[in-house]
A and B are shown apart, each in its own frame.
Chain A
């Protein structure tokens, strides 16, 4: 599904450069649920951004679903992002002047679907996250947990192969975090491949595999017994 070999990435900071990722090798199979952990500055977010094609690698190899991701034009990157990837962010990143349904339907607009089809699919995914009744509410009228569920519905709308989550519970209280994690686990049960960045141990333990990063290298990569979030809900 996803294969990374000898990935390097540095950022220029003034005259010097900061070597963030120093040779990462990682492969993720379909249906996995992987937590990428590490303290701040370990390079975990950079890795996720590169996997999400939001950032480019300096050297190494990144193959997504058999396609080498390298030297993509902006246009092509946009198409790949739209087709392969769904994003879930810590701060939800909903468009504040669009209602829940319009937010969910936005990736479908960029897929070039007809309006009617977009509404239909958008509604279907909103129902899936249990927010059909809130379809015509603006983000500011929703609670944090509801916003994140709208964001998840949006990430799912384009039916991506890979869900990328950057601290998906970072802005939520414990109870809501567990609700969201239960839902993400449910998606994984249904077969979605999920990759998430987190620094919370209890959230990471709800994944099936934990990859620990420190100073730009992988320190540990182990499969764990998944803690079901539903038991806390």
Chain B
């Protein structure tokens, strides 16, 4: 039941004892403020790490080649290492059970045009598995498939922004796009969470590209999605083994870092995961620490308030206040102060994060923020803590004997 007179009593007590109310409110507001800011910053750090590795599959290993830097087996330094289809097949056969996805990549820069629109894009000739490694999301049509590879069909899968650039509000699917003088049928349009740059790319079958641009069987890069059943250490070992075998195959010195480079995401992912776990622990410690500090603060204030009001409580009891009315007057005051002050702390915290957020990106803190549910949870916890911390002193207060409270000292 809503008792307006009880609330009036409580509001008067808060209002007339401003210093006391402000001090207790300040403690709580400050606890919530710290909680919000620290949590927000920690979340911002986590966001930075997550974003840096979110774009592509986590279990990917990429193989690039370059020029040798060391003479080896009677071969000169500076020799250019070029991977071919046979190398791709070798990797596929040699490591079949360790590989989930496998694709080659050929890079070309092409000028694409449709009707009067034309622009320059990066072209990637790939295998069908590429879709899963790059986490390409098909919006329209389909991706490159095995048939395309076998028949060397002239098809292209274009990025969402390529469609926007060239086809201007019309559907690209089924139409022919001109890539460096050759007409390709658009069989699919894709989206990518990796950003605008990733959506300005064009994919085509690796075999088609080899036939049209140079008529050879060269490939620029091999991407592997290792078997997800491998743990990080096994994946790292696999990457090392792969490197050794390829170096032998191409007659490259063991310590030649440039000729064959293998980039293993397992290594990065492992350290990022460790970092994330560490951050989560820090966040938890900070969060609990701040909350506990808040709870202790409220308890202290409540004990102080009851002590200070002993005489008043005695008077009220002498005038006929029931124990219950004493409990509610003190408890509700505590909860009210906690809730209002907590909310203010929250708003200030949000404000600080909002204002300082953009300038923090330089310190690897991106979109610092706290989820609403977490904050509501924290505030509820504080209110609950205020209630518990307030209840025991309030109950004690209701048991105060008026004669003791009213002694003339």
Contact of B320 among A79, A90, A93, A115 (CB under 8 A): A79
Within 8 A of A (CB), among B1-59: 5, 8-9, 12-13, 16-17
Within 8 A of A (CB), among B116-148: none
- Residue from B314, B315, B316, B401 with most neighbouring chain A CB atoms (10 Å): B315
Residues on A with beta carbons closer than 8 Å to the beta carbon of B322:
74-75, 78-79, 110
A90 to B324, CA, bound (A): 28
Residues on B with beta carbons closer than 8 Å to the beta carbon of A87:
318-319
Question: Is B66 located at the chain interface by the 8 A CB criterion?
Answer: no
Question: Is B408 located at the chain interface by the 8 A CB criterion?
Answer: yes
Chain B nearest CB, measured from A122 CB (Å):
13
Chain A nearest CB, measured from B394 CB (Å):
14
Asked whether, in the complex, the Cβ of B16 is within 8 Å of the Cβ of A97, the reply is yes
Chain A nearest CB, measured from B251 CB (Å):
93
Question: Is B231 located at the chain interface by the 8 A CB criterion?
Answer: no
Given known A-B contacts A54-B318, A78-B322, A93 and B17 have beta carbons under 8 A apart? no
Interface string of A55-76 (1 = CB under 8 A from B): 1000000000000000000110
A83 to B320, CA, bound (A): 8
Given known A-B contacts A74-B323, A75-B323, A95-B312, A81 and B318 have beta carbons under 8 A apart? yes
Interface string of B203-221 (1 = CB under 8 A from A): 0000000000000000000
Asked whether, in the complex, the Cβ of A97 is within 8 Å of the Cβ of B317, the reply is no
Question: Is B321 located at the chain interface by the 8 A CB criterion?
Answer: yes
Question: Is B403 located at the chain interface by the 8 A CB criterion?
Answer: yes
Question: Is B325 located at the chain interface by the 8 A CB criterion?
Answer: yes
Given known A-B contacts A74-B323, A78-B323, A115-B5, A98 and B316 have beta carbons under 8 A apart? no
Within 8 A of A (CB), among B298-330: 311-312, 314-325
Residue ranges of A at the interface with B (Cβ–Cβ < 8 Å): 49, 52, 54-55, 74-75, 78-79, 81-83, 87, 89-91, 93-95, 97-98, 102, 106-107, 109-111, 115, 154, 158
Question: Is B406 located at the chain interface by the 8 A CB criterion?
Answer: yes
Question: Is B402 located at the chain interface by the 8 A CB criterion?
Answer: yes
Residues on B with beta carbons closer than 8 Å to the beta carbon of A106:
316, 319
Given known A-B contacts A90-B408, A91-B408, A93-B406, A98 and B318 have beta carbons under 8 A apart? no
Asked whether, in the complex, the Cβ of A75 is within 8 Å of the Cβ of B324, the reply is yes
Asked whether, in the complex, the Cβ of B323 is within 8 Å of the Cβ of A109, the reply is no
Asked whether, in the complex, the Cβ of B324 is within 8 Å of the Cβ of A82, the reply is no
Chain B nearest CB, measured from A192 CB (Å):
17
Given known A-B contacts A54-B401, A97-B16, A109-B9, A154 and B320 have beta carbons under 8 A apart? no
